[in-house]
Amino acid sequence: MNEVRKFDSDDPDILAAYQAETNGEYFKAIEYYNKVIARDPSRGIVYKHCGNVYYRIGDLDKAVEYLEKAVELLPQFPTARYELALAYYRQVRIRKAINTMQTVLELDPNFLMARYWLGILNYHYGHIREARQHYLQVIEKNPNFYIAYHHLGVTNLRLGNYEEAVQNFKKIIEKNPDSAAAYALLGDAYLYLGKKYEAKMAYRKALELDPEDRKAQRALEMLDEFKDVTF
């Protein structure tokens, strides 16, 4: 881990690579990082940074190659594993991404973004209940992690936990009252509960905020056909 702390050294190629990366000159950054690696192939942190640059430009095969090398050289550095897991995810290697992200939490149980991403990864892998547990743990650690409420709400819709989903989407609206997506999802939750009036109000608000929301528009048109909705 000393190498991680010493990354910002006096090595001119490392400094040039870092500056190029900061300026968005990614191919130049890769060139400088590779010059350092050619001189000293044991520099795991340089592999990590170069892999991250490849990730940014969308070269996922190279990103994985370099990040796997970084993990090999820096096995106790959770951030390298975290970035590798995201690269696996971008390659649609979901099971491998989950396994790698789990090792991040083994190294650092307080790595909240890793916990959040484990929720996303498990959801995409079809492990809906596991995803829900990860989102709940994220919110328990940080109640202001509002994007987790969105994913938790969507997950609760999938699981049939509609009352809980209502509370999740209300939490988002409390923080961001201009979120058309949150109102539309709130409408979905109310609709599943059979609360047609509340659903209609939520969909109307979603359309007020985003007139292009076709899903909310279709839901409103469907609700208009119900004779038992009174105002």
Task: Report all structural domains of the chain as residue ranges with CATH numbers, in order of start.
Answer: 9-108 (1.25.40.10), 144-225 (1.25.40.10)
Please answer whether residues 196 and 229 qualify as being in contact, where contact means their C-beta atoms are separated by less than 8 angstroms. Answer: yes
**Cβ contacts of residue 88 below 8 Å, gap of 6+?**
64, 94, 96, 97, 100
Can you give the pTM of this predicted structure? 0.88
pLDDT in tens, 140-185: 999 999 999 999 999 999 999 999 999 999 999 999 999 999 999 9
Closest CA to 57 of 93, 89, 87: 87
All residues at 6 or more sequence positions from 49 whose CB lies less than 8 Å from its CB, including other chains:
7, 17, 18, 21, 33
In this prediction, residue 166 carries a pLDDT of 98
Tell me the C-alpha distance between 10 and 1, whole Å: 18
pLDDT < 50 stretches in the chain = 1, 5, 229-231
Sign of CA dihedral 183, 184, 187, 188: negative
119-144: b or e for each residue (b if 16 or more CB lie within 10 Å)?
A: bbbbbeeebeebbbebbebbbeeeee
For position 7, what pLDDT does the model report? 53
Phi/psi at 7 (5° precision): -60, -45
DSSP letter (8 states) at residue 10: S
Instruction: Tell me what pLDDT residue 231 has.
Output: 42
Q: What is the pLDDT of residue 10?
A: 72
Q: Give the distance from CA 51 to its chain's centroid.
A: 19
